[in-house]
Amino acid sequence: MNVLKVSRWTIAAFVLPCLLLYVGLVFAPIIVSFYNATLNWNGIGVAKHVGLGNFHRMFTNDSVFWPSVRRTFMLAGFSMLVQLPIALFVAILISRYVRKANFLVSSYFMPVILSVAVIGQLWKTIYNPASQGGMINQILIKLGLDSWTHAWLSEPKVAIYAIIFIGLWQYLGYHILIQFTGIQNIPADIYEAAKIDGAEGLTADRYITLPMIVPIFKISVVLSFIGSLQSFDLIMVTTAGGPAHATDVLASHMYNISILSQKYGYGSAIACFLVVVCLVATVIINFLFNRLDRRYN
Amino acid sequence: MNSTGKKVVGTAMVGFLAVGMAACGSKNDNDNAAPSSSAASTASASASAPASSDSGSKEKVTITFQNIYPDPTDPKYNMLHKIVKQYETDHPNVHIELDSLNTDQQKQKLKTQAASNEVPDITIVNPSAQMKPYVDAGLFAPLNEMIEQNGLKDTFQSGILDYYTFDGNVYALPDGNNIALLYYNKALFKQAGIDAPPTTFEDLVADVKKLKEKGIQPMAIGEKDTWTGSFLFMNVLLRTNGGPGFLQDIVDGKKTFEDPAFTGAVDAFEQLVQAGAFQEGATSFDYNAGENLFKTGKAAMYFMGSWATGGIEVSDANKDGNVGVFKFPTVGGKGDPNQFMLAPGSAFAVSKNSKHLPETLDFLNYFMLNYPKEAFAVKGAVGVAQKVDGDFKAAGYSDMAMEVLAMFKDVQGGDISFDNTMNPATSQAHLSSIQNLFVAKKDAAAVAKEHQQAYEDNKE
Amino acid sequence: MSQSASIAVREPAVQPRRRGFSLKKTIVFGFFGILLVTQLYPLLWLLIYSLKTNEEILSGSFFALPASVQWSNYSNALAGGRYWHYLLNSVIVTSATMVCVILLASLAAFAITRFRWKYGQIVMLIFLMGMMIPLQSTLLPLMLIFKHMHILNTRWAMILPYIAFQIPIAVFIMSGFLRTIPHEIEESAIMDGANVIRIFRSIILPVSVPPIMTVCILTFINVWNEYILAATFISKEALKTLPFGVYSFVSQYSVNYGAIGAFLVLGALPVILVYFLLAEKITKGMVAGAVKG
């Protein structure tokens, strides 16, 4: 139970500046988007009300939409189920084996700071066909595995995985950093006490690190989910959603529809879908972590 | 709001404002939408102010000039800055604020600005179908009277302004006028035992196979930017249709995409792809990466608009005049090589709501009058939309550039690109459908159906 | 990334807990080393990239060095002094955003997690709702708002939305942390007669260094490279930020990749410097937080 009893004015002074700015510039535009989603509008000329027509079309008659949704969730899934556990594992290892971890953790973080434009170019030199100097394919050929070579970014079935892998690599250090700071924040005396009880190494991690890191891990989960839903730059730099929409995700589909196809109302409908997905996801994530919290405490 | 000491209070106030404004904003954006079509017809009245330059000590005027020449290492950038500086010297009261953006960003920005009626004084648009929504919304000032001044109109090549004219009003002035052609690497052709560039599509496919056998990459393309493949495909269609106007016939309801001209074009195009004409992984090569293959001598042929001439002429591939050009061949004996894919360039338009309309018109008039001369000086006059005085040969233009210029003289009509003819949504469906041909073999009838479906779904 | 294993790996310059050889430790440090190479190689690659010609860059080989070092890329990037004023603008916009986000978000998070009032949970929910909204999807409404506020083409048109879009995640992180601080702290402070502002300033803020650092880093990476919103709302050359410089080398039919590389190096340099300087502080702050918590 919160203990500070304060006047209404104090609450207002603490909360309102933040809330108003946020409501005015994030929330209100989203409401406008919901309105725009009911229009047939190219963004410039005359708008026509179509009710829920855009949503109907989106759910039933858009061959790109559902595959984009699926790929967006694939991105989120890989990030949460592969990247985060690895990041946690590395963070635990670092905290156990390295005393001055600054340099290591900071270095792992570097790819996040670099512009996506650079990351995209770099990975193209890795993924290109062997004839264009692509590194992976050249290595495969040297190993005699010619049949394993692919045009990684232009084969419809492979390309999305190639892009997902870039994302996993790029943001690994980001999550290592977040989780490492979380582990650093666990008071050392807890481990000391556990040691006396005979819990060390893996056992200590199982019974101390994991439960204590839950709140920080939640931040990682939320950030990875946000990142996956908003992933756009990387797709644009590597394949621009091609070939023939094979690597489109929700964000790139939204861009294609509202900017390139100039269906602003329809694009807003996709944006609204994105917002609703985010909302549901936030609720689910919070619910799961609250249960997890309760189980441990 | 600028007191840094009271940041919290300041920000809170901005927050309050924002909430209020959001409400106004959404209301206003409806108002914008409704009366806009009628505004177009009355637009000409406001532009009638004389645009003569009786510069004296007048009030300070700032003209925002949104453009797509941000690169200081690009000759066009220097050209632009030179003309602007000269104008500012002549008109001390006028300041030209150059908002230079990369092309994609400029398109997006203009769209957002147009939706909130904030179009900059001068901006850049693409011809025909692509600029039509802006014209329909009454955002641009007609330039009919302005181009009559100082004889500007007569500097343009005949017919080029048609692509920017709606209901008899000219709304934009182009910076370029290009045609599509094939560049080829003479040394690589010789290596594969090919004596002369192909004149029929069948020869072209045969040459591709010959090059392929010798381990030479036959053609380069940057198909990540989907328009590149479409541009080539449309040239095939221009031939199989026996002449220009296929898309116009569709719009007029005389033909459908299921027409044999279209399926024939798809079949021919797929033949080229299946023969291995294009590099592996073409769909992840952007425009520059694709062109670079040709420029570095790694590909034997390159289909592109004549704007690429300047870059190719100084590339490795063109050492000792090694690059030649040829016209797109006939397909199945159909079509006329002197009909080209035409690429009227991006063009300068003036905002109807400009606060300084007379000054803006005056500046643009000056700018366009000086454009060909300055372009000629920086060797960028191949594919300019205006008539250029000057001896190209004497000015040091390369043999290849001269060949391209000669080709311009042969032009007997043609088509403009798909996205300049059809609405944006149909165009996107087309672009993606053609891109798909690079990675999957598809039945021509299915491709035609895809197109027809997209066209009908998005018809207004 | 197993391909990088072929590169010789040396132990990182860090102190393990116990000296002496152990197989397990060797494997672990080998693993750290491999990861280090894969995560740091891009920096080296960018550096090499920035010294190549366009043709070399587009030829797309992974290891190749430039045939001759192209310093001209750097002179192009620095030409006209644009770099310096873009850098200055980026610093102003980013730091203003960071300061405001931290201040506003920590105040709100404090009120939500420590004050006794009815609507705390609702307010929190409202913040959570906006956490995942992509900035691009609000461009048009924002344009209308700023038009009516008459702040288009001013720094406010960048700073205000940057702050607003960082607020939800910042509140989320801050309040997540503040919840873990036991209530006894302010109970004893009230006994000592401290008022709310003093509790916030001298008790809560000092122990909140770790989440503040996290928010700082998040805000920084989201704002420093932001281009779409800036490009839409800013037309004045005098107010443009670093990403404008990067994209300025992209023309309609040509891209000057070398100059882009050079500009990116110049743009990343201050970031990397500041980051490694801050890294020290982050860990220290964390230890302090851990002791007090």
Give per-residue pLDDT as tens, B186-228. 999 999 999 999 999 999 999 999 999 999 999 999 999 999 9
Can you tell me the distance from the alpha carbon of A186 to that of A205, in angstroms, rounded to the nearest whole number? 11
Report residue C112: phi and psi, to 5°.
Answer: -70, -40
Q: Which long-range contacts (CB under 8 A, 24 or more apart) does B148-151 make?
A: B149/B51, B149/B52, B149/B365, B150/B365, B150/B369
| Average pLDDT over chain A, rounded to an integer | 87
Say if the Cβ atoms of C42 and A187 lie within 8 Å: no
Can you give the pLDDT at residue C60?
66
Q: Which chains touch A (3 or more CB pairs under 8 A)?
A: B, C
Query: Residue C9: is its pLDDT beyond 60?
Result: no
Residue of A nearest to B223 (CA): A243
Cβ of A45 within 8 Å of Cβ of B438? The answer is no
- Decide which of A186 and A270 is more confident: A270
Contact A3 C186 (CB under 8 A): yes
The answer to whether the Cα torsion of A161, A163, A167, A168 is positive or negative is positive
pLDDT band, residue C284 (cuts 50/70/90): low
| Exposed e or buried b per residue across A200-222, where buried means at least 16 C-beta atoms within 10 angstroms of its C-beta | eeeebbeebbeebbebbbbbbbb
**Mean pLDDT of all residues in A60-87:** 94
Evaluate if residue B352 carries a pLDDT over 90: yes
The single-letter DSSP state of residue B223 is T
Q: How many residues appear in chain B?
A: 460
Q: Which of the other chains make 3 or more beta carbon contacts under 8 angstroms with chain B?
A: A, C
Of the candidates A4, A94, A98, which has its C-beta nearest C114's C-beta? A4
- Label residue C282 by pLDDT band (50, 70, 90): low
Give me the DSSP letters along C170-188.
HHHHHHHHHTTS-THHHHH
Q: How far apart are CA B354 and CA B358, in angstroms?
A: 9
H-helix or E-strand spanning residue B414: strand B414-416
Q: Quick one: DSSP state of residue B259?
A: S
pLDDT at residue number A188: 79
- CB neighbour list of residue B154: distance below 8 Å, 6 or more residues apart: none
The mean per-residue pLDDT over the stretch A248-256 comes to: 92
Q: Are C144 and B25 a contacting pair at CB < 8 A?
A: yes
Query: Which tens digit of pLDDT belongs to each residue from C28-48?
Result: 899 999 999 988 888 888 898
- Please, are residues C155 and C93 in contact by the beta-carbon 8 Å criterion? yes
For residue A297, the model assigns a pLDDT of: 61
Q: pLDDT-derived band of residue C218, with 50, 70 and 90 as boundaries?
A: confident
ipTM: 0.87
pLDDT at C106: 94
pLDDT of residue B43: 37
Which of B16, B104, B119 shows the shortest CA–CA distance to B68?
B104
Residue in chain B closest to A153 (alpha carbons) equals B284
Query: Given this model, what pLDDT does residue B50 score?
Result: 42
Name residue, tokens 């000629």. B376
From the list A6, A109, A278, which residue is nearest C132 (CB)? A278
pLDDT of residue C281: 65
pLDDT beyond 80 at C275: no
pLDDT in tens, B292-315: 999 999 999 999 999 999 889 889
- The pLDDT of residue B11 is 39
Using DSSP's 3-state secondary structure scheme, residue A44 falls into coil
- pLDDT for res B369: 95
The type of residue at B322 is N
**Contact residues, chain C, for B295 at CB < 8 Å:** 55
Chain C neighbors of A280, CB-CB under 8 A: none
**pLDDT score recorded for residue A165:** 95
Query: Which residues lie below 8 Å from residue C107, measured CB to CB, with a gap of 6+?
Result: A13, A14, A15, A17, A18, B8, C200
pLDDT mean across residues, chain B: 87
Alpha carbon distance B122, A61 (integer Å): 39
pTM comes to: 0.86
Interfacial C residues in 44-73 facing A (CB < 8 Å): 45-46, 49, 57, 59-63
pLDDT tens digit string along B252-294?
999 999 999 999 999 999 999 999 999 999 999 989 889 999 9
Average pLDDT over residues B324-336: 95
Query: According to the model, what pLDDT value does residue A121 have?
Result: 83
Cα B246–Cα B343–Cα B68 angle in degrees, nearest 5: 140
**Burial profile A258-270: b = 16 or more Cβ within 10 angstroms, e = fewer:** bbbbbbbbbbbbb
Quick one: average pLDDT of B142-171? 95
pLDDT of residue C15: 40
Would the pLDDT of B12 be above 80?
Answer: no
Quickly state the pLDDT bin for B42 (edges 50, 70, 90).
Answer: very low
Strands B347-350, B122-125: parallel, antiparallel or unpaired by DSSP? antiparallel
Q: What is the mean pLDDT of residues C56-81?
A: 82
Q: What does the pLDDT read at residue B57?
A: 56
Rg over alpha carbons for chain B, rounded to the nearest Å, is 24
Q: If pLDDT is split at 50, 70 and 90, which confidence band does A1 have?
A: low
pLDDT bracket for residue A112 (50, 70, 90): confident
- B12 vs C: CB within 8 A: no
Nearest CA-CA distance, residue A295 and chain B, Å: 40
